[in-house]
Amino acid sequence: MKAPDGNKLAILNALNQGGFVSGQVLGEQLGISRAAVSKHIQTLQDMGLDIFKVTGKGYSLNNAVGLLNQADITKHYHASGANTAQVEVHPIIDSTNSELMRRIQNKVALESGTVVVAEMQQAGRGRRGRVWQSPFGANLYYSYFWRLDDGLQAAMGVSIAVGLAVYDAIKALYDIDIELKWPNDIYINKQKLAGVLVELDGQPQGPCQLVIGIGINLHMPQNTSEQIDQAWTDLSQHTTALDKNQLVASLTFYLEQRLADYQQDGLNSMYAQWNALNAFAGECVELNTGHRSWRGICEGIDQHGGIRIRQDGEVKSYYGGEISLRKAEL
């Protein structure tokens, strides 16, 4: 599927102003028939945009979607006092993480701080091969390249630092209190707002390259939300001040801060704060590897990013990106 261009993009920009726009007006503005307008609207709906029609009024976009703009992102980013990241904006892509991983595998020179964002992903993915719903313009699809010289073992707790960077950005912009779920989810009131996917390439003892993927729900369309099999929320339910370009800039700024701290001192200065934001602190949880599962009381994380689980009076730490955690059903 191609990104909206030409007439489709013009229709999207007209609807993005808010209110209703008739097919006749759109047709006159673009010099096309109402039937052609209807066909373009259908294509935009197929991309996941929540456009509805009311007889006698015309078409309306259920949620105005601020489109990504590289110049606006750069302006907000520089206003924060930072200048090291390079942000690329793509209208449509298979996956922002896959794009950066391909460049690594093809030996393309990459600088730490290379950011890829997109309006839509055709093959968005989460941990353990799950599909990440990625309709056009509705949410934030973001990946950040980072080089770490200390080996794969040193990267074990990166997702903890990344979760805190998402917390920093959302708290700074919207003053919303979020919760963190080990190892890589961001919640509001026990509903999933965002997820992190960290992918690695490198040697156990040598330099490694990381692609840090972050997906944040902004304006989840109704037709997409029906395909999600867990409790979820989006930022539009908690704030009216959404500016996607400002969010990209803020997220990049705070991610750089947290990664610099992590490179210097690991999680020593972060794990206590993460524990204060732990979504399942003191609750009975279930860990699952796909082959076995076990239950215990969630005691937060240790200084290496492992999840601490109390079983039969004994606390053990568990590590590994292929372990999932959820609240136990009693």
pLDDT in tens, 116-131: 999 888 876 555 455 5
- DSSP per-residue letters across 88-141: EEEEEES-HHHHHHHHHHTT----TTEEEEEEEESS-B-GGG-B----TTTSEE
Distance between CA atoms of residues 285 and 272, nearest Å: 20
Say if residue 316's pLDDT is above 90.
Answer: yes
Instruction: Give the mean model confidence (pLDDT) for residues 194-217.
Output: 91
Say if residue 72's pLDDT is above 90.
Answer: yes
User: Is 179:163 a contact under the CB 8 Å cutoff?
Assistant: no
- Please tell me which residue in 103, 310, 326, 327 is annotated as part of the active site: 326
Say if residue 209's pLDDT is above 90.
Answer: yes
Q: Catalytic annotation on 192? A: yes
Confidence of residue 15 (pLDDT cuts 50, 70, 90): confident
pLDDT at 50: 76
Show Cβ contacts of residue 36 under 8 Å, excluding neighbours closer than 6 positions. Answer: 7, 27
What are the distances in angstroms from CA 159 to CA 139, 213, 324? 20, 10, 14
pLDDT at 206: 82
pTM value is: 0.85
Say if residue 136's pLDDT is above 90.
Answer: no
Confidence of residue 227 (pLDDT cuts 50, 70, 90): low
Say if residue 160's pLDDT is above 60.
Answer: yes
Q: Catalytic annotation on 102? A: no
pLDDT at 130: 59
pLDDT at 261: 97
Show Cβ contacts of residue 163 under 8 Å, excluding neighbours closer than 6 positions. Answer: 180, 184, 185, 186, 196, 274
Say if residue 63's pLDDT is above 80.
Answer: no
Domains of the chain, first to last? 6-61 (1.10.10.10), 70-274 (3.30.930.10), 280-327 (2.30.30.100)
Phi first, then psi: what are they for 267, rounded to 5°?
-100, 10
Instruction: Give the mean model confidence (pLDDT) for residues 62-73.
Output: 79
Distance between CA atoms of residues 200 and 155, nearest Å: 8
- Please tell me which residue in 181, 192, 244, 258 is annotated as part of the active site: 192
Tokens representing residue 273 in the block: 């704060």
- Please tell me which residue in 127, 181, 244, 258 is annotated as part of the active site: 127
Confidence of residue 222 (pLDDT cuts 50, 70, 90): low
Instruction: Give the mean model confidence (pLDDT) for residues 275-280.
Output: 97
Lowest mean pLDDT among 29-33, 300-304, 317-321, 324-328: 317-321
pLDDT at 229: 61
Confidence of residue 291 (pLDDT cuts 50, 70, 90): confident
DSSP symbol at 10: H
pLDDT at 2: 52
pLDDT at 4: 58
Say if residue 108's pLDDT is above 90.
Answer: yes
Distance between CA atoms of residues 183 and 166, nearest Å: 13
